[in-house]
């Protein structure tokens, strides 16, 4: 058979598995043409952080104990751990490990979050929709457009009202959208009286079918202001082409202050204030978000009283992706020339200062009564312990921001969590992993289930039911001792 299906030989069923599918057991699958084991419970391995199987025992302060990953180097996440439902059970895994000689406990559970949602930041200057506009998924209301931020449009999705307050369809659509976004999948959202946008964590947004590449360095006018000094003396005039606000150096306040001479340049479009023009062209996907392929079409005739043959003109887009250099001929007609080396740097710098346009998805949830009861018999003490920084909260091993004020309401960047870390229940509510790490002594003091504490070896020995993952490179290691429990 000539496709890239694989024959699984893990058992006598000998499933023939297509790419992206699993065999009849759901345990083995074809991932990019390779047979891989898909295990339910994720264990992060710090030693494998760099993707190798190196055992850095020489760098350890203590002797290598013969295992590949020693205590403190393996962190048990809550992904696939199970929940504490119906609320009074101890968390499914309460793991002890030694970190630099101190006994630490990590309470590992999956929380059912009825109060949860995602905050989505979409790097684009395009108008996606007015503030407070309804955001829909599968035609159902799942959230709204909230206050826009620098270079970005913001959406607030989910929350208890859409999950449980509306119709069953609304709840299901909201749950589906949240789950997909949190698990790093693409979701198509439609904004009332606005755009259709495809959002996927860590990927560029696709607005009305067009993929956003870069965040602009600023609008055309702002770009003039930022780079005027670098251009001064090297070129006679600069036009920064922008669908929103096109800037002209010689007319702009920044140019005036530097003493840039008038050049007799004439722009089409509507002049807003000196050196700032609206609507020079139609919106599009070319120069500065316009439909321009030839930037000269936005220029009128140079004023023969002010312009001179040999006048040097740079035209550039707000992302530096498009640029052209012209000199005026005897008839004051712009003739394209090669970009001089002295200007090349400034164009490169515009590009350098543009960040790639991304969608970012932060999961936000509140750990209420029931989840805390799986950690301790005295739930409020856990809240206090988190507040006092004695207990570190992580979400699938990723760092979280815990909101000040009451409760344990936190935000986490889903990109920093292992893949498919989220699940759901049809209540509907999201299921998210959550781990609490603290000193064993502190755990006992807050009324923890000390009798349920298990050594790490009891978990890591169960190779067949655990999935070992390398820790995310940018995440602080959840068991780093000086950041947990030492802040008294």
Partner 1 sequence: MRTAWSPENYPEDKEPARSDFVVLSSAMNSRAQIAMLPDGRRLHLHDGPIDLIVEAFGSAPEVETAYRAACDRFVTVLDELCSELAYLRQACRPEQPWPDGAVARRMVAAVMPYTPQYFITPMAAVAGAVAEEILAAMVATAELSRAYVNDGGDIALHLNDGEKFTIGMVERPDRPSLFGKTAIAAHDPVRGIATSGWRGRSFSLGIADAVTVLADRAAAADAAATIIANAVDLPGHPSILRVPACELAPDSDLGDRPVTQAVGTLSNDEVEQALAAGARTAELLLRMGLVRAAAICLQGNTRVVGTVGGLKLVEGPEHERILLHA
By the rule CB under 8 A, 86 interacts with partner 1: yes
- Least spacing, CB of residue 21 vs partner 1, in Å: 6
By the rule CB under 8 A, 458 interacts with partner 1: yes
By the rule CB under 8 A, 25 interacts with partner 1: yes
Residue closer to partner 1 (CB basis): 146 or 172: 172
- Least spacing, CB of residue 109 vs partner 1, in Å: 14
By the rule CB under 8 A, 261 interacts with partner 1: no
Among 34, 60, 62, 168, binds partner 1 (CB under 8 A): 168
In whole angstroms, give the CA distance from residue 467 to residue 5. Answer: 23
Q: DSSP characters for 115-133? A: SEEEEEEEE--S----TT-
By the rule CB under 8 A, 111 interacts with partner 1: no
Residue closer to partner 1 (CB basis): 15 or 280: 15
Tokens of 36: 């891989």
Residue closer to partner 1 (CB basis): 17 or 393: 17
Angstrom distances, CA of residue 191 to CA of 152, 249, 358, 476: 15, 37, 18, 37
Tokens of 258: 């530097």
Strand bridging mode 392-395 / 34-37: unpaired
Question: To 10 degrees, the CA torsion angle through 80, 85, 90, 95?
Answer: 10
Residue closer to partner 1 (CB basis): 354 or 431: 431
Residue closer to partner 1 (CB basis): 2 or 58: 2
Among 34, 60, 169, 270, binds partner 1 (CB under 8 A): 169
Angstrom distances, CA of residue 4 to CA of 22, 25, 33: 14, 20, 6
In whole angstroms, give the CA distance from residue 375 to residue 269. Answer: 64
By the rule CB under 8 A, 16 interacts with partner 1: yes
By the rule CB under 8 A, 132 interacts with partner 1: no
- Least spacing, CB of residue 457 vs partner 1, in Å: 11
By the rule CB under 8 A, 451 interacts with partner 1: no
Size of the site for partner 1 (CB under 8 A): 32
- Comparing CA positions, the residue from 486, 479, 439, 437 lying closest to residue 72 is 479
In whole angstroms, give the CA distance from residue 222 to residue 276. Answer: 10
Tell me which residues touch partner 1 (CB under 8 A).
1, 5, 10-18, 21, 23-26, 86, 138-139, 168-169, 172-173, 424-427, 454, 458, 461-462, 464
């Amino acid at each position: 058979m000539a496709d890239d299906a694989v024959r699984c030989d893990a058992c006598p069923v000998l499933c023939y598995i297509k790419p992206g599918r699993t065999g009849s057991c759901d345990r083995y699958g074809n991932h990019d043409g390779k047979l891989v084991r898909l295990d339910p419970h994720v264990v992060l391995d710090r030693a494998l952080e760099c993707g190798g199987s190196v055992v850095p025992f020489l760098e350890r302060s203590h002797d290598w104990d013969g295992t590949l990953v020693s205590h403190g180097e393996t962190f048990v996440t809550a992904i696939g751990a199970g929940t504490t439902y119906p609320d009074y059970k101890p968390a499914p895994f309460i793991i002890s490990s030694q970190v630099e000689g101190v006994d630490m406990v990590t309470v590992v559970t999956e929380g059912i979050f009825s109060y949860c949602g995602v905050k989505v930041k979409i790097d684009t200057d395009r108008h996606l929709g007015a503030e407070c506009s309804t955001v829909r998924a599968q035609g159902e209301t799942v959230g709204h457009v909230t206050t826009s931020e620098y270079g970005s449009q913001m959406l607030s999705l989910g929350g208890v009202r859409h999950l449980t307050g509306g119709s069953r369809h609304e709840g299901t659509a909201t749950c589906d959208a949240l789950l997909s976004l949190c698990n790093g999948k693409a979701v198509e959202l439609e904004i009332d009286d606005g755009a259709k946008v495809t959002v996927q964590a860590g990927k560029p947004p696709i607005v009305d079918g067009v993929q956003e590449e870069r965040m602009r360095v600023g609008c055309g006018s702002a770009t003039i202001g930022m780079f005027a000094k670098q251009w001064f003396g090297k070129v006679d005039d600069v036009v920064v082409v922008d669908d929103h606000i096109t800037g002209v150096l010689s007319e702009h306040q920044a140019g005036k202050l530097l003493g840039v001479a008038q050049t007799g340049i004439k722009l089409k479009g509507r002049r807003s204030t000196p050196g700032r023009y609206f609507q020079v062209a139609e919106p599009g996907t070319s120069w500065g978000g316009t439909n321009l392929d030839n930037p000269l079409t936005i220029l009128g005739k140079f004023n023969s009283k002010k312009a001179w043959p040999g006048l040097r003109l740079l035209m550039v887009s707000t992302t530096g992706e498009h640029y052209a250099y012209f000199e005026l001929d005897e008839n004051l007609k712009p003739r394209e020339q090669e970009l001089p080396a002295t200007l090349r740097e400034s164009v490169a710098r515009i590009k350098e200062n543009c960040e790639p346009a991304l969608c970012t998805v932060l999961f936000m949830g509140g750990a209420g009564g029931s989840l805390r009861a799986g950690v301790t018999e005295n739930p409020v003490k856990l809240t206090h312990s988190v507040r006092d920084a004695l207990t570190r909260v992580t979400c699938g091993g990723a760092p979280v921001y815990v909101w000040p004020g009451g409760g344990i309401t936190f935000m986490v960047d889903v990109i920093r969590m292992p893949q498919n870390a989220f699940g759901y229940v049809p209540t509907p509510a999201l299921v998210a992993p959550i781990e609490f790490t603290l000193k064993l002594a502190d755990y006992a003091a807050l009324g923890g289930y000390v009798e349920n504490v298990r050594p790490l070896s009891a978990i890591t020995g169960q190779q067949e039911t655990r999935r070992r993952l390398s820790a995310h490179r940018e995440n602080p290691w959840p068991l780093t001792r000086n950041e947990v429990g030492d802040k008294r």
